[in-house]
Structure 1
Amino acid sequence: MTHKVYNFGAGPAMLPDEVVEATAQAVRDFDGMGLSLMEIGHRTPQFKAVLAEAQSLMKELLHVPEGYSVLFLGGGARLQFDMIPMNLLRHKAAYLDSGHWAHQAMDEARLWGEVVNVASSANDNYTYVPSQFSVPADADYLHITTNNTIYGTELRKDLDVGVPLVADMSSDILTRDIDVERYDMIYGGAQKNLSMAGTTFVIVRNDAVGRTGRKLPAMLDYAVHIAHQSMYNTPPMLPIYTALQTLRWVKAQGGVTEMERRAKRRAALLYAEVDRNKLFCGTARRDDRSLMNICFVMNKAYAHLADDFANFAAQRGIYAIKGHRSVGGFRASCYNAMPIEGVQALVDCMKEFETLHINN
C-alpha cells in the first residue's frame, strides 16, 4: 500500500503501512483462529500473548528498569489527569504550565489537593517551554508535558529537579531515549506515535502507588491495574494489538535511536523551509521548537492567503495541515510514521505556492 495522501494530523495520526495491514488482518482473522480479534475473549492465551509482548517491547525499547509496570488502560490521557493526583498526591504537587493540556492537567489536580504552578508561558501564548523555575522540595511530584501539540514546543530532555517526575508524553513517546528512573510515571494517549485511539499507556514505578492513604475506586487505582497486569477489566484489545504492531515496527526500524534521527531530519527540512519562505513564519521560540508538531502561520502581509494555501495543499495530498482551532495557522505533525517523502512533499508545496504568489 502506497501513501498518496500524507496525513499531518496531530492525532489520531498516521500509522506505518505494515501496522495498518496487520491490524486489518487481525480484524478479519486473528492468529488463524477463524475469528476476528474483536470477537475473542481477552483472557484467551492468544490475546494474553499480545498484551505480554506489547508490555515487554515497551520495556525493551525504552529501557524500563525493574520495579516498573507497563499498563494499557482506557480513558485517554485526560483520565490520567485525575488518576495521577488521586494516586500520587499526598500533600502538594507541582505543575509546569507549558500549554493547553498541561494547564488542564493542573486544573484537574486541584480537585485532589494543593497544586503549585512553578512556571507558565501562558502570557506569551505558550510559545516557549519555561526553563527558569524552582520546585518545592516537599512536592510529591512535578508534572510536565514534554510536547505541546497545539503550540509546537517540546522539552526533549529529562529534568533533574529533586522530586519525582510525572510526564505526559502522549505525542513524543518512542522518539528519544528516556532515563525512566527519573520518573515515577510516564503516560500518554496512544494515538500519536503508538497506536490508534482507544488505549492509554502508563509506565509507573510500582512503589510510587498506594501511599496516599486515600481509598480509591478499583478502576482508578493504579495498584489494582498493576496487580492484574492491565487485565482487571476487559482492556481495549484492538488498540493494544495495533500498539504491539507499532512496537515491532519501531524495533525493526532500528529502535528509538533511529526514530530520533528521523525526527530531527524531518523537522530540520521543514523548519528550514518555514524560515526561508517569504510567505510563512514559525510561531514557537526557536530553542523550544517541537520535532513532532511544526507550527507556522502566514506572514502578516500574506495572511489573506491562508485558506488558499490550505486548499492548495489538500489538492496535493497534504492532509490535516490546519492548526488547532484555538490558534489557527498551520501545523504539520511529523510523528514516527511520517516518511521523509511526506515532509518533502509539503516543502515542495510551500515552494510552489510561494512562486505563484510572489514571483509571478
Structure 2
Amino acid sequence: MSVSNEPTLKPERPFFSSGPTAKFPGWSLDKLKTESLGRSHRSKIGKARLKYAIDLSRELLGVPDDYLVGILPASDTGALECAMWTMLGPQPATVAAWESFGNVWIQDAVKQLKLKNLTALDADYGEIPDLASIPQDNDVVFTWNGTTSGARIPNTDWLESGRSGVTINDATSAIFAQEMDWPKLDATTYSWQKVMGSEAQHGMLILSPKAIERIESYDPDWPLPKLFRLKKGGKINQGIFEGATINTPSLLATEDYIAALEWAKSIGGRQAMFERANENARILEAWIEATPWISNMVSDPAKRTNTGVCMVFGGDWYESLSDEDKAGVPKKIVSMLEERGVGYDFNGYRDAPPSLRIWCGGTVDAEDVKRLLPWIEWAFEEVKASHAN
C-alpha cells in the first residue's frame, strides 16, 4: 500500500545513464546526414566526414594546434590502452586510481605490460590518492573524473610544467564538462558515448608533441596488436589523425557524433556545455544537502564531479538493514521509476557501494533533473514502507 502521494510531473527525457548518456535535446535520426552511409570509410566522403569529426572536436575542445587528434576503435578503453601500450616502459610509471576503470588500468600495467618500475596509487570510492606524491620524472596514468565514484581531480597543480614523465589522462567522463589543462597533458582519451551522448565503440586519442616524440623514439618490448600501432616507418602515422582510421569505423556513429558536436557548437561550445553540467550538478547537490537520508559519495566538495554524481544512503532506518537489504534499496528505487518511465539506468556502478548515480552532463536538461528528484523521494518512502510491512 502506498504511503505517500505519487508525483505526477515526469522528466520529458528520462535518460540519466552515465554511459551511453542522453542524446542532446531535440535529437532525432532525421538530424543525421546520410550521404556517407553505405560508402567506404576510405572514400573521399568517408574520410572527409571522419576528418570533420576530428576538426570539430579540436575546435570545441580548444586543443593546441601542435597536438594530434585521432579516432581509434574500442571506445575510451581502446584509446587509453593504446596510449599505455605504446608509451609506457622507458621510465618509472605511476598508475593512479580511485574507482573501477582506473583499477583496470592498474591491472593492465601490472598483469599485461608487467612494468618493472611501477607504483600503483589507489584510494577508496569517494576519495582521491595523494597525487602530489608522484615523482615528476614518472610517467603517470590517471582518470580525470572517476566515472563510477563521482570523484574528480580538483586541479592539476600536482603536475609540474616541463615534467620529464608523460601524462596519460583518461578524460572520458570529464571532457566537454570540465576544462582540460592541455599544456600538462600528453595523451588524453575519451569516448563519443559519454558527455556528448553519441554512439559507442569509438575513442579519441589526443597527443602532445612530447607524446609524439615518445612514441617515435620508443619501441616497447611487448608485441603490439594492429589496433595499437601508431607508427609507420618509425614515425607517427599522420593518416590516423586525418581520418584514415586503423580499422573500419561506423560512419553512422560518426554522423551521430558530428550532430552532437554541431549542437554543442550551436549553443555556445564547450563553455555552454560546462554551464549546463554545472547547473545540473548544482540542482542535484542542493537536493542532496536538503535530504537527510542521502549524501554525496565524495565528502570533499572540491573533488565532486559535475557529470556522474554518485549518492549513498544513510540514516537510522537504512543503517538498521542487513547488507543485502541495503544493496537492494537503490535497485528497487531505480526499478520502480523505470517501470513508470520516470528515470532510466541511474543505479550505481556494479562494483561501487550501493548507490544512485545521476548523470548531469550537458546533454541533460536541468528541468528533467528537477522533475526526477521528487520521484526518488517518493520511491524511497515506498521502499521504506515495504520493509515495515
Report the TM range for the smaller structure's normalisation: 0.7 to 0.9
Unaligned stretches of 5+ in structure 2?
1-9, 319-324
Q: Could you tell me which amino acid in structure 2 is paired with residue 246 of structure 1?
A: A
Match of 1:343 in 2: 369
Q: Find the residue that maps to 1:348 and give its secondary structure.
A: helix
- 2:14 maps to 1:6: yes
Q: CA deviation at 1:349?
A: 2.0
Q: CA deviation at 1:42?
A: 0.9
Alpha-carbon separation, structure 1, partners of 2:252 and 2:116: 38
Alpha-carbon separation, structure 2, partners of 1:248 and 1:223: 31
Q: CA deviation at 1:17?
A: 4.0
- 2:188 maps to 1:186: yes
Match of 2:103 in 1: 103
Alpha-carbon separation, structure 1, partners of 2:131 and 2:44: 51
Match of 1:317 among 342, 347, 358: 342
Conserved 8 A contact 1:88-1:211:
no
The change in CA–CA distance for 1:56 and 1:97 in structure 2 (over 3 A counts) is same
Match of 1:120 in 2: 122
**TM-superposition CA deviations, 1:154-181 (whole Å, max 9, x none):** 1253342433321001111111222322
Match of 1:34 in 2: none
- TM-score norm. by structure 1 comes to 0.86
Match of 1:155 in 2: 153
Match of 2:167 in 1: 165
Greater mean alpha carbon deviation, residues 39-48 or residues 264-273 = 39-48
Match of 2:293 in 1: 279
Q: CA deviation at 1:38?
A: 4.0
Conserved 8 A contact 1:82-1:109:
no
Alpha-carbon separation, structure 2, partners of 1:18 and 1:49: 25
Q: Could you tell me which amino acid in structure 1 is paired with residue 18 of structure 2?
A: A
Q: Find the residue that maps to 1:154 and give its secondary structure.
A: coil
**TM-superposition CA deviations, 1:248-297 (whole Å, max 9, x none):** 11111111111111111111110111121133222222332111111113
Q: Could you tell me which amino acid in structure 1 is paired with residue 365 of structure 2?
A: P
- 2:101 maps to 1:86: no
Conserved 8 A contact 1:91-1:114:
no
Greater mean alpha carbon deviation, residues 340-349 or residues 126-135 = 126-135
Q: Find the residue that maps to 2:41 and give its secondary structure.
A: coil
Q: CA deviation at 1:307?
A: 4.7
Conserved 8 A contact 2:294-2:314:
yes
Conserved 8 A contact 2:280-2:361:
no
Q: CA deviation at 1:212?
A: 1.4
- 2:359 maps to 1:333: yes
Q: Percent identity?
A: 20
Q: Could you tell me which amino acid in structure 1 is paired with residue 219 of structure 2?
A: G
Q: Could you tell me which amino acid in structure 1 is paired with residue 14 of structure 2?
A: Y
**TM-superposition CA deviations, 1:50-98 (whole Å, max 9, x none):** 1121111111112211222111111223334432232112232221122
Q: Could you tell me which amino acid in structure 1 is paired with residue 202 of structure 2?
A: T
Q: Find the residue that maps to 1:263 and give its secondary structure.
A: helix
Match of 2:231 in 1: 223
Q: Which has the higher contact order (CA 8 A, sep 6+)?
A: 2
Q: Find the residue that maps to 1:200 and give its secondary structure.
A: strand
Match of 1:15 in 2: 23
The change in CA–CA distance for 1:165 and 1:276 in structure 2 (over 3 A counts) is same
Q: Provide the alpha-carbon RMSD of the alignment.
A: 2.6
Conserved 8 A contact 2:292-2:315:
no
Conserved 8 A contact 2:41-2:249:
yes
Match of 1:142 among 132, 140, 143: 140
Q: Could you tell me which amino acid in structure 1 is paired with residue 334 of structure 2?
A: A
